[in-house]
Each structure stands twice: as C-alpha cells, then as structure tokens.
C-alpha cells in the first residue's frame, strides 16, 4: 500500500487496485448557483484517473463515494455527465463503487459494468473500504486496514505575516481496539487511512485547527480513532508528523 505521489490516490498493489474518493461531479453547477463560474471539471478528473490507473497498471478502480455533489436531488449536469464518465472508465479497469452521503440515486447513473456495493462499504483482500458517513459493516473486523474518505482532511500553514493556506493530506492511524469491541464485539486494532478528495476544488476543515470534532462520520465522532495520534502526509509524500505536533 502506498500513496501515489502528488495525486490524491492510493495504490494497493496486492489487490491491483487504485482507491480514490470524493469526486463531487456537479460542484461547478452548485458554484454557478452561488454566482461563481469555473470551467467544467469532469473531463479533467476523468483524464487524471485514466492516467493514474494506466501508469499503476491497476486492474481495479475503487471509488469510495461522493461521486455526485448536489444534495438533495440531482442536477442536470450530474445526470448528463456521470453515466458518460463511468462508461469511459469501464474499459480500463474493473470499477467498484460504494456510495457516499451525496450519492442519492447513483444506481440510476452507473453503467451495468460498474460493481455497486452497499453504503456501509465492502471488504476486499485485507482491506475494508467505505465512504465514511456510516458505520462500516461487521466485515470491518476481518480487515487489517480501513480505507475511507468523506472528511476531506487538510493542514493549515501560516506564515509570519499571518497569511494562511491549506493543503490536502492523507491521514494514517489506528482504530482503538476497545472502541472496535464496543461496536462489533471483537477487540482488534485496525489501521485506518483517510484519503483526501480527488476533486481538489472541494476542501475541508484543517486537522490542526481548533476543536475536537473537525473530522466527519461516526468513526471520528465516536472517538474510535484518536485523531491527534494520526500521521499526516502531503500529496508529495512529505511526512508532517502526528496531528498533535503540527
């Protein structure tokens, strides 16, 4: 398992898979409704995914939710672009999707070749994958590592003049065995990797910001992971240290 350098994607060589999350196709329309106009992003995202999968020689592409952006409902842009987006990708890899909280009616937009899993996630090899907005199924305890998205982790940097900038990061840590036992009846220390959003226009709250409830989802809200003990990595692979030290 390794981060793909300078890309918000994870390569899992033992199952020949690339994992990504949070495409948020349709974000442009949402911004347009707010008075902000940006170029269409879907073709750029698709081209980038193709490039990553082909370079990695991966047989599978795992998309961990929030394919679409608009909630509630579905925009015309999403209905038009998502089917074509995935139809163009099914020829390069076996595609697995687990829905996110933005993915209402996503089953109506996916080609039949795409393997659609339940929103709780799915087990593949020694890994468990889900978007992160729901509790994982009990299959989680069969895994060594839990790979998820949803939280859009970033780190905030500030210079001497007070100028602030945020950068997306990968997070690595562990699920607390005691908390896992409370939920699933089996105490097991399972690794966790939180992926940054593949759509770089969609950011989140800095993990080194104020407050304890920065990250989303039941795993973090219920303190199954001690976020302060997680390690943070920039997309270029730079190790920033543990969250508590950043």
> 221 CB contacts (<8 Å, ≥6 apart)?
213
Secondary structure element (H or E) that encloses residue 89, with its range: helix 76-89
Res 29 pLDDT > 70: no
* Those residues with Cβ within 8 angstroms of residue 222's Cβ, 6 or more apart along the chain or in another chain: 179, 183
Confidence of residue 246 (pLDDT cuts 50, 70, 90): confident
Distances (CA, A) of 154 to 59, 181, 185, 191, 195: 29, 29, 33, 20, 10
Report the C-alpha gap between 134 and 235 in whole angstroms. Answer: 26
Residues 2-245: name the CATH superfamily.
Metallo-dependent phosphatases (3.60.21.10)
Radius of gyration of the chain from its Cα atoms, rounded to whole angstroms = 18
| pLDDT score, position 205 | 78
* CB atoms closer than 10 angstroms to residue 199: 22
Q: H or E element: which one contains 32?
A: helix 27-33
pTM of the model: 0.92
Strand pairing class (2-3; 190-194): unpaired
Backbone angles phi, psi at 172, to 5 degrees: -130, 135
For residues 240 and 37, give the distance between their C-alpha atoms in angstroms, rounded to a whole number: 34
Distance CA 102, CA 221 (A): 19
Q: What is the DSSP letter of 68?
A: B
Q: What CA dihedral angle connects 63, 140, 150 and 176, to 10 degrees?
A: -150
Question: Which residue did the predictor score with more confidence, 159 or 225?
Answer: 225
What is the spatial distance between Cα 232 and Cα 246, in angstroms, rounded to a whole number?
9
Q: What is the pLDDT of residues 70-82, one digit of tens each?
A: 778 888 888 899 9
DSSP state of 135: P
Domain spans of the chain? Answer: 2-245
- Residue-wise pLDDT for 56-111, tens only, equals 999 999 999 999 987 788 888 888 999 999 999 999 999 999 999 989 899 999 99
173 within 8 A of 192, measured Cβ to Cβ: yes
Contact 142, 213 (CB under 8 A): no
For residues 44-62, give the mean pLDDT: 97
Confidence of residue 39 (pLDDT cuts 50, 70, 90): confident
């Amino acid at each position: 398992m390794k981060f793909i350098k300078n890309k918000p994607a994870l390569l899992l060589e033992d199952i020949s898979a690339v994992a990504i999350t949070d495409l948020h196709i349709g974000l442009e329309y949402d911004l347009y409704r707010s008075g902000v106009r940006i170029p269409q992003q879907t073709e750029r995202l698709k081209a980038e995914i193709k490039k990553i999968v082909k370079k990695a020689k991966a047989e599978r592409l795992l998309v961990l939710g929030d394919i679409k952006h608009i909630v509630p409902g579905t925009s015309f842009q999403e209905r038009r672009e998502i089917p074509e987006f995935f139809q163009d990708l099914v020829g390069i890899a076996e595609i697995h999707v687990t829905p996110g909280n933005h993915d209402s009616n996503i089953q109506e937009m996916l080609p039949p070749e795409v393997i659609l899993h339940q929103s709780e996630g799915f087990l593949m090899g020694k890994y468990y994958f889900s978007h992160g907005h729901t509790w994982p199924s009990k299959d989680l305890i069969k895994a060594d590592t839990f790979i998820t998205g949803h939280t859009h982790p970033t780190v905030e940097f500030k210079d001497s003049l007070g100028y602030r900038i945020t950068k997306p990061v990968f997070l690595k840590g562990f699920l607390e065995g005691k908390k896992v036992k409370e939920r699933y009846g089996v105490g097991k220390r399972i690794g966790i990797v939180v992926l940054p959003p593949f759509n770089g226009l969609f950011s989140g709250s800095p993990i080194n910001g104020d407050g304890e409830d920065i990250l989303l989802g039941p795993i973090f809200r219920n303190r199954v992971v001690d976020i302060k003990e997680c390690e943070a990595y920039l997309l270029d692979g730079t190790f920033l240290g543990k969250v508590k030290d950043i």
